[in-house]
């Protein structure tokens, strides 16, 4: 599919955000200004979405939950399920705008009016059926899956690179035939506390929750090696109708809410890989949501790089990104990819010369990451791959009771 690239943007995105971190609220406008100044909108259209209707929200949430958000909007004070998600006057309209951006993306991609659509205010992956939590009042990712299914595109692969595990998305889709790969910081205590390798899905979704829990200070090279070893194989085996990428960039080293220690180069490599996978596996149908990221300058760099990659303003040379798509363990290519991306010739955007140098990773974290990847490849990927013999391991965790359902 050769088609348009669209960024969905509602004027309400310029106002208050769902996070209590007021300094982060400007990240949407800052990103749009950066993209405009870099000429990215010469090759991408901006469209204003409609506010999501109740019927959209009720695809993944209860009517009681909608009423809770309405009351929080009317009262203008207090918090929802977690203390980090405050109620305020205007939150309902702002949430409808965020979800509406993703619903608009679904309609554009499903109809063929656009190939790739980015909703910067989407990716509210912590919201559960009856809970607003983790800065997320409604879960637009799960809503998107239901919309796509109703439009004849039921096989959705979700790649979530936000630094926090998408617990709400997992809860809502745990027993659904939807691929969910999440790469996130994890120690059992870091919010939201879920996302271990043992959480593999249930029912029709068994084997389709692939969690890649990563230690603090893992760094760019080890992260890219983990991404390369798991994501392309999982996506190809699933053969999706649509690729949905939750492009949270709170793993950037300048972000105060995580310690993954990534930089813009890593996000560019991920964007290029996802872009290529979409064209290889699902005729180019690609929806991207913004999710986390709380340093406006870092967010603007990462999102601008991603959109420029989708439009072709940043070329994706085969000799640089081929290892991300075609080489699996044990070869490690992260350092090589990062080294080549340091070349000014590969950065025709104006911010190429700005410093973006993550701190040195922790050697122990790198080793822990490699052990995690080996376990995921050996024990989790085979649960949904048909070509198990190629992985050389037929062992898998036993089916267990669904931890997301209580009596």
pLDDT given at position 250: 98
Query: According to the 3-state scheme, what is the secondary structure of 41-81?
Result: HHCCEEECCCCCCHHHHCCCCCHHHHHHHHHHHHHCCCECC
pLDDT given at position 92: 98
Give the residue among 359, 244, 287 at the shortest CA–CA distance from 119: 287
Establish whether the linkage from the previous residue to 212 is cis, with ω within 30° of 0: no
Establish whether the linkage from the previous residue to 192 is cis, with ω within 30° of 0: yes
232 lies in a domain?
yes
Is 333 assigned a catalytic role? no
Which residues, 6 or more positions from 318, have their beta carbon under 8 angstroms from its beta carbon?
Answer: none
400 lies in a domain?
no
Which residues, 6 or more positions from 87, have their beta carbon under 8 angstroms from its beta carbon?
Answer: 71, 72, 73, 75, 76, 77, 78, 79, 80
Q: Rounded distance, CA 183 to CA 196, Å? A: 10
Could you give the strand order of the β-sheet that contains 5-8, starting from the edge strand earlier in sequence?
45-47, 5-8, 116-119, 286-289, 242-246, 156-160, 179-185, 209-214
313 lies in a domain?
yes
pLDDT given at position 158: 98
Q: Which phi and psi angles does 297 have, rounded to 5°?
A: -65, -45
Q: Rounded distance, CA 221 to CA 365, Å? A: 12
Strand partners, 47: 8
pLDDT given at position 387: 39
292 lies in a domain?
yes
Provide the number of structural domains found in the chain: 1
264 lies in a domain?
yes
pLDDT given at position 313: 83
DSSP annotation string for 192-212: T----TT----GGGTT-EEEE
Instruction: Point out the catalytic residue in the list 61, 116, 125, 126.
Output: 126
Structural domain including 274 reads: 5-391
Q: Rounded distance, CA 243 to CA 141, Å? A: 11
pLDDT given at position 317: 62
Q: DSSP class of residue 328?
A: -
397 lies in a domain?
no
pLDDT given at position 345: 54
With a cut of 70, list the residues of the chain below it in pLDDT.
1-2, 316-324, 326-333, 342-354, 385-407
Give the CATH number for residue 150: 3.40.800.20
405 lies in a domain?
no
What are the strands, taking DSSP E only, across 142-220?
A: 156-160, 179-185, 209-214
404 lies in a domain?
no
Q: Is 117 helix (H, G, I), strand (E, B) or coil?
A: strand
5: part of which helix (H) or strand (E)?
Answer: strand 5-8
What is the rounded radius of gyration, in angstroms, for the C-alpha atoms of the chain? 19
Query: According to the 3-state scheme, what is the secondary structure of 223-266?
Result: HHHHHHHHHHHHHHHHCCCEEEEECCCCCECCCCCCCCCECHHH
164-186: pLDDT as tens digits: 999 999 999 999 999 999 999 99
pLDDT given at position 310: 95
Give the residue among 148, 145, 135, 138 at the shortest CA–CA distance from 174: 145
Question: Exposed e or buried b for every residue in 119-155, given b needs 16+ CB within 10 A?
Answer: bbbbbbbbbbeebbbbbbbbbbbbbbbbbbbeeebbb
């Amino acid at each position: 599919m050769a088609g348009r690239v669209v960024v969905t943007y509602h004027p309400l995105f310029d106002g208050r955000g769902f996070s209590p971190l007021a300094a982060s609220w400007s990240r949407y406008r800052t990103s749009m200004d950066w993209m405009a100044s870099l000429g990215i909108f010469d090759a991408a259209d901006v469209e204003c979405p409609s506010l999501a209707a109740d019927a959209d929200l009720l695809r993944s949430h209860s009517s009681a939950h909608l009423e809770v958000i309405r009351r929080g909007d009317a009262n203008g004070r207090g918090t929802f399920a977690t203390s980090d998600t405050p109620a305020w006057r205007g939150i309902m309209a702002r949430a409808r705008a965020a979800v509406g951006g993703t619903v608009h993306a679904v309609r554009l991609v499903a109809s063929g009016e656009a190939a790739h659509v980015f909703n910067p205010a989407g990716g509210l992956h912590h919201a559960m059926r009856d809970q607003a939590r983790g800065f997320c009042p409604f879960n637009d990712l799960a809503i998107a899956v239901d919309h796509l299914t109703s439009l004849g595109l039921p096989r959705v692969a979700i790649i979530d690179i936000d630094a926090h595990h998408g617990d709400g998305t997992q809860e809502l889709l745990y027993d659904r035939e939807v691929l969910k790969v999440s790469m996130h910081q994890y120690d059992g205590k870091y919010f939201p506390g879920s996302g271990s390798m043992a959480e593999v899905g249930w029912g029709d979704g068994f084997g389709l929750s692939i969690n890649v829990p990563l230690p603090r200070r893992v760094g760019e090279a080890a992260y890219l090696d983990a991404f390369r070893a798991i994501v392309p194989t999982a996506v190809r085996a699933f053969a999706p109708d649509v690729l949905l990428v939750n492009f949270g960039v709170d793993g950037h080293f300048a972000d105060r809410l995580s310690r993954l220690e990534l930089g813009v180069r890593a996000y560019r490599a991920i964007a290029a890989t996802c872009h290529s996978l979409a064209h290889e596996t699902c005729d180019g149908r690609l929806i991207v949501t913004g999710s986390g990221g709380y340093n406006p300058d870092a967010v603007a760099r990462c999102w601008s790089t991603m959109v420029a990659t989708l439009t072709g303003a940043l070329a994706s040379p085969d000799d640089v990104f081929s290892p991300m798509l075609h080489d699996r363990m044990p070869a490690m290519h992260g350092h090589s990819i990062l080294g080549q991306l340091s070349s000014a010739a590969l950065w025709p955007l104006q911010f190429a010369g700005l410093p973006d140098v993550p701190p040195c990773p922790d050697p122990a974290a790198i080793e822990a990451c490699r052990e995690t990847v080996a376990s995921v490849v050996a024990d989790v990927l085979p649960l949904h791959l048909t070509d198990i013999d190629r992985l050389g391991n037929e062992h898998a965790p036993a089916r267990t009771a669904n931890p997301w359902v209580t009596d």
